[in-house]
Structure 1
Amino acid sequence: MAERITVDRDGHVLIIGLNRPEKRNAADFAMLQELCLAYGELDRDERLRAAVVFAHGDHFTAGLDLADIGPRITADGLDLVPEGGVNPWQVDGSLQRKPVVVAVQGTCYTLGIELALASDVVVAADSTVFGQIEVQRAILPFGGATIRFPRAVGWGNAMRWMLTGDTFDAAEAHRIGLVQEVVPHGDQLPRAHELAHRIAAQAPLAVQATLANARAAIREGDPAAEQRLQPELVRLSASDDAAEGMRAFLARDEPRFQGR
C-alpha cells in the first residue's frame, strides 16, 4: 500500500503531503495515523522550525473515509494517535510547538477545515470549495471546529456553515477569516513554502514562545498569558539567538539563528 502521507525536508521546513489523490485524499485510518507521526517528527526534531501541509492531486481532502473510520469508533471514541505521534487537530490536550502553514485547493471538507483551523497560516487556491458537512452525515465535527471555528470567524459565520453543511468558496473563506490569503490555483503551495521559510528564518525560540503565549491566552485566558510575558522575555533575552539578533542589527546584517 502506498504511503498515505509523504514527508520531505526543505532546510528547516518539513513538507507534509496528503497522498490519496485517487480518493480525493479522503482520510482513512492509515492516513490519520501517518499524519500524526509526521506531526510527531515535526515536534521532536529541533532542526525543524516550521511545516507546510499540502495535498497531492486536485483536492485537499474530501474528509473522512467513513467506510473505513466508522467501524473504528468505539464507546470511547476514535483513538488515532500512535506512539510517537502528535494529534494534528490538537483536541486531546496536546499542543503543536511549531508553526504550520497549510495550502489548500479543490475540495476541502470537514477534517480539512479543522486541520486549517488548528494550523497557523492558511493559503487557499481560488479553486477551493469548503464544507463543514458533518451534520449532513448525522455526526458532529469532532476535530475542533466546534471550538475553533466560532473563535476564528465569529459565531454567526461559523454557525451559518456548520449547522447547514452548505459549501462555500475561497472568497467567502477569506472574507470571514478562515484563510489568510487566496491565490490562483497552482500558486498555493509555492506561497505556503515561501511563508514557512520566512517563519523558519526567524529566531526559533522566539517563534515558539510567541505561538505558545498566544495559545495560552486562548486556552487559559489573558491573565495566565500575561503572567508569562516577562519571564519569557528574560529567558529569550539570555539566549544566544538574542545576542545574534543584536549583532545583526548593529552590523546591518542578516541574523543566523541557531535555536539556542
Structure 2
Amino acid sequence: MSGRGKGRGGDQHGKEFREMKIAILGPGRMSRALAGHWVKAGHEILIAGRTPDRAEALASELGPSAQVAGFPEATAEGDAVLMGARGEGVEWTLDQAGRRTFDGKVVIDMGGPMARPHYLGDVPSMAEDLQALIPGGRVVKAFNLNRACTWAMEKIVFDGYPLSIPMAGDDPAAKEVVAELIKSIGCTPIDFGGLERSRNLEAFAAVLVRLLLEGHDQFEVFNLLIRVPDWEGEPHSRIV
C-alpha cells in the first residue's frame, strides 16, 4: 500500500509518515474529530455521507484538504477507508460504495459493540463481521477504545504520555498503514495481533465506556491504558 508520492510529513513528535488520501464513509463525531487531526498532519480527506449537507459542512470545516465525494469514488480513491457508519448503516454504506470497491483497500473499523449481548468466546467481533461482508478488503480494528471527545483534544496526551492505540488485523501491510495514521496524530500504535483479537478490543471498549458513563474522568479512565509506573523503558512497549 503506497501513498500518493507527494512527499512526506511529520507527526507531533517529528517522525515521518506518508501523506495519504483517507476516505471517510460517514461524517459522524468520531470521524469528524479524527479527520481534523489528519488534515493538520497533511493528509487529504474524501467525505462520503448519507446526508449531503453534513458531508459538505465537514468538508467546509476541514478546509481545502477535504472534499465531498460519492461512496464509490471515495472508497476507490482512498489509500485507507474509515468506516464511520454504525449498525444497520454499515451494510447500506457497503452497498452504496459497491462491495468489490473495497478489494485491496485498508478498511479501519472503529465501531463499538455496546448493543451486543456478549463479546468473547465464539461470537465474531464487529470487525470480523465487516471482514466477512467485504472479503477482498483488509480490515483493521482501531480507534474503538475512545470517545469522540478524546479525538477532539488538541494533543491526545494524558499525564505527558501520548495515547496508545491498539489495533488488530490479519494483514501486516494494512496494519503498517494504520500505524502511520496513528503516529501522524501524535499517538502510539500497538499491534494487538490478528483480527480475532478485535473481540478483546471490543470487550475492553465496553469496560471503558461503562467507567465513563459512571462519571469517571477520561483522564482517569485512559490512564488505565497508558500508565505503567514500574516500567522504565520505552513508554507503552509493554502493553500488548
TM-score when normalising by structure 2? 0.30
* Larger of the two Rg values belongs to structure: 1
Kindly indicate which of the two structures has a greater share of residues assigned to helix.
Answer: 1
TM-score when normalising by structure 1? 0.28
